[in-house]
Amino acid sequence: MSKRGAQEVVRALEAEGARFAFGIPGTHNLELYDVLVDSGTVTAVLVTDEQSASFMADGVSRTSDSVGVVNLVPGAGLTHAMSGIAEALLDQVPMVVLACAVRDDTGRAFQLHDVDQTALLRPVTKAVLRAARPAGLYRVVREAFALARAGAPGPVAVEVPANHYLVSHAAAGTPADGDGPGASLGPGTAPGEPAPADVEAAARVLAAPARPALYVGNGARGAADLVRRVAERLAAPVTTTVQGKGVMDEGHPLWLWNGFGASAPPFVRRVMDGRDALLAVGCRFAEVATASYGLTPPEALVHVDIDPAALGRNHPPRVAVAADAGRFLAALLDALPARPRDAALEAELAAGHRALGEAWARDASRDRVTPARFFEALQRAAGPEAIYATDSGNGTFLAMEHLRLGAPGRFLGPVDYSCMGYAVPAAIGAALANPDRPVVALAGDGALLMTGLELLTAASYGAGLVVCVLRDGELGQIAQFARPPLARSPCTRLPGYRVEDLARLVGAPCLALGRDADLDSVLGRALGLAREATPVLVDVAIDYSRPTYFTRGVLRTNLWRLPWGDRLRVLGRALARRTVARRGP
């Protein structure tokens, strides 16, 4: 029996449990679409822009057991999608990119869309694979899934010359029994058990009389229960990275904050200043997570990550362990003696969070929507199972500081590559993969201009989600970064537009939210409408007048990092401009 290469690709997608393939068909991959639309398990999703295709695949991967798939035409389709592919690489999100290539059987030059795709893909993927023959496509695609999941997850590209989709060949054997998702067809699995000597060394560093803390990243998302148990065994406070939000239940008495150092509230800094050892698991001490490297861990640092290249890259550890987070934490539990519960520490953390909440409550906006009250009402309406997708900008850090999440996989944000336009398509991907859960996109009004038309896709495929447009009329995060040192915010004002006009265009309901008094009614109605499998826009007149702790921390850190001469120049310029502004023309 003969098969076309397109059939082999779809067979591999089905074997891997892929549920969606996002993209736009073109002349080069029509044969693949011809087979894909007949699949009983993989849905081909037509998007409006390939950048959104990669963000949607990202949303699927972050919120489900399925790996997101992007299906691209050569050249422009690939370059449009590269921002989302790079985001997946830096944020360590598994993804498979079916990168159709030009024909390799004509011997002709200057083909349509012909660029060196391998050279483009290498810097933004874990690997670029290519089958020498159409008959090898099944195995190569399966290898791509295995590699995307293995070790530090990330995107893997499969380049498929257009003629390989078309050409018939003798079919390979059918998959063996049990040859399902994650089968061992790829380049290997994650590192095995940590060395016993490493576990013992870590236990010695963390044992009494040390006063340890935990710093946990998204690399530990599969070991949330073990994170909690280790924290309780050590009676230690737990901080997380931005991406690690929810890995430790944020209602737990030992949860402290998302990050520490200059970008954290004073009570968090006081608690961490009293810690003399740190267990960092599944994190890289990256720039955004550390608020521009604005934290210094204790010298007694135990750093555990599945990627050996992350160990010691930014901070020298006393003990470095290249291992799977769950396997290490399980072994560490057996090596740690139990400590008594630290009631005083838990009371200190509870008092700090309570005082912070009371301060936010006192700081209500007079004529706009108060962020603290907005997020409190949003969680009240959406419930504990909701998924939130943020965008590059102020909304990410507001959500990070105000949302209280009980599990991983509920906070999607473009963190280390920080692509604007992420929230709406990522939320669509999450909504398609999780149709029974509330999904909320938190999009800035600038970011919405980039990918807001993708709500057409949401409406077409019945993706029910709520898009809260955080409206302040400018690029809020950049404006907040600009004003202190520049005393102005150049080129950050957005052109005026009406969210309801966009809603009318995409066929979505639009609700206005202009003051705190309407929070419960508007958000409750929006989530109710979204349950009818439709996207809903909420135009939120957000009050951005109070910078986040993150923003203030980044500004302080970068100012004090400057040499004294430049520090004085920046301060003097800002003072002079403010003086002129006060005097008027």
Instruction: List phi, psi (to 5°) of 214.
Output: -110, 145
**Of 102, 201, 97, nearest in space to 154 by CA:** 97
Tokens of 313: 């890259």
DSSP state of 109: S
pLDDT at 581 over 80: no
At position 100, the amino acid (one-letter code) is: C
Write down the pLDDT at residue 475.
86
- Beta strands 168-170 and 2-4: pairing type? antiparallel
User: Which residues, other chains included, contact 343 with Cβ-Cβ below 8 Å and sequence gap of 6+?
Assistant: none
pLDDT tens digits for 164-195?
Answer: 888 776 655 444 434 555 443 444 444 578 99
Better pLDDT: 527 or 105: 527
221/393 Cα distance (integer angstroms):
24
216/213 Cα distance (integer angstroms):
10
**Buried (b) or exposed (e) across 308-322, using 16+ Cβ within 10 A?**
eebbeeebebbbbbb
- Beta strands 535-540 and 510-513: pairing type? parallel
CATH 3.40.50.970 fits 2-170, yes or no: yes
Write down the pLDDT at residue 480.
87
Superfamily of domain 363-540: Thiamin diphosphate (ThDP)-binding fold, Pyr/PP domains (3.40.50.970)
pLDDT at 330 over 50: yes
At position 175, the amino acid (one-letter code) is: P
Better pLDDT: 221 or 494: 221
pLDDT confidence bin for 320, thresholds 50/70/90: very high
21/62 Cα distance (integer angstroms):
15
Q: Within 13 Å and on the Cβ side, how many CA atoms surround 556?
A: 15
Domain ranges within the chain, ordered by starting residue: 2-170, 196-347, 363-540, 552-583
191/202 Cα distance (integer angstroms):
18
End-to-end alpha-carbon separation of the chain, Å? Answer: 83
- DSSP for 231-284 reads HHHHT--EEE-STTTTSS-TTSTTEEEES-STTS-HHHHHHHHT--EEEEES--
495 burial type by CB count under 10 A (0-12 exposed, 13-18 middle, 19+ buried):
exposed
166/545 Cα distance (integer angstroms):
58
> For residues 231 and 240, is the Cβ–Cβ distance under 8 A?
no
515/508 Cα distance (integer angstroms):
22
Omega of the bond leading into 94 within 30 degrees of 0 (cis): no
Average pLDDT score over residue span 201-226: 96
At position 200, the amino acid (one-letter code) is: E
**Which CATH number, 1.20.1240.10, 3.40.50.300, 3.40.50.920, 3.40.50.1220, labels domain 196-347?**
3.40.50.1220
> For residues 411 and 245, is the Cβ–Cβ distance under 8 A?
yes
Instruction: List phi, psi (to 5°) of 174.
Output: -75, 155
Angle 8-14-17 from CA coordinates, rounded to 5°: 145
**Of 391, 571, 578, 368, nearest in space to 476 by CA:** 391
User: Which residues, other chains included, contact 342 with Cβ-Cβ below 8 Å and sequence gap of 6+?
Assistant: 235
Average pLDDT score over residue span 472-485: 86
Write down the pLDDT at residue 578.
86
User: Which residues, other chains included, contact 282 with Cβ-Cβ below 8 Å and sequence gap of 6+?
Assistant: 216, 217, 218, 219, 220, 221, 223, 244, 247, 304, 305, 306, 325
- The helix or strand, by DSSP H or E, that contains position 97, with its residue range, turns out to be strand 95-101
- The helix or strand, by DSSP H or E, that contains position 20, with its residue range, turns out to be strand 20-23
Better pLDDT: 374 or 193: 374
pLDDT confidence bin for 131, thresholds 50/70/90: confident
Angle 361-409-236 from CA coordinates, rounded to 5°: 65
Neighbours of 336 (CB within 10 A): 18
Instruction: List phi, psi (to 5°) of 168.
Output: -85, 150
Tokens of 472: 């302040």
Write down the pLDDT at residue 483.
86
**Of 407, 397, 394, 456, nearest in space to 434 by CA:** 407
pLDDT at 135 over 90: no
Residue the block writes with tokens 């109605």: 525
Write down the pLDDT at residue 181.
55
Better pLDDT: 109 or 219: 219
> For residues 202 and 332, is the Cβ–Cβ distance under 8 A?
yes
- Prediction pTM value: 0.94
User: Which residues, other chains included, contact 191 with Cβ-Cβ below 8 Å and sequence gap of 6+?
Assistant: 151, 306, 322, 323, 324
237-246, 479-488, 563-572: which range is least confident on average?
A: 479-488
Q: Percent of the chain at pLDDT above 90? A: 79
pLDDT confidence bin for 329, thresholds 50/70/90: very high
pLDDT tens digits for 528-560?
Answer: 999 999 999 999 999 998 999 999 999 999 989
Average pLDDT score over residue span 91-101: 95
16-20, 95-99, 179-183, 230-234: which range is least confident on average?
A: 179-183
Better pLDDT: 445 or 101: 445
Write down the pLDDT at residue 5.
86
19-28, 170-179, 478-487, 520-529: which range is least confident on average?
A: 170-179
pLDDT tens digits for 254-268?
Answer: 999 999 999 999 999
pLDDT tens digits for 30-70?
Answer: 999 999 999 999 999 999 999 999 999 999 999 999 999 99
